[in-house]
Amino acid sequence: MKLFIDSANLDEIREAASWGIIDGVTTNPSLIAKEGRDFIETIHTICGLVDGPISAEVIAPTAAGMIAEGKALASLHKNVVVKVPLNIEGLKTCKALSSEGIGVNVTLCFQPAQALLAAKAGATYISPFVGRLDDICEDGVQLIKSIVDIYRQYPDLKTQVLAASIRHPLHIVQVAAVGSHVATLPFKVLKALYSHPLTDKGNAAFLKDWETVPNKDILAQVAAFQARQGSAA
Cα angle, residue 118 at apex, residues 69 and 97 outer, rounded to 5°: 30
Burial class (CB in 10 A: 0-12, 13-18, 19+), 126: buried
Q: Would you say residue 209 has pLDDT above 80?
A: yes
Neighbours of 118 (CB within 10 A): 29
The reported pLDDT for the residue numbered 163 is 98
Out of 34, 83, 95, 191, which one is annotated catalytic? 83
Residue type (1 letter), 167: R
Query: Does the annotation count 83 as an active-site position?
Result: yes
C-alpha distances in angstroms, 230 versus 217, 221, 222?
A: 20, 14, 12
The reported pLDDT for the residue numbered 230 is 83
pLDDT in tens, 15-66: 999 999 999 999 999 999 999 999 999 999 999 999 999 999 999 999 999 9
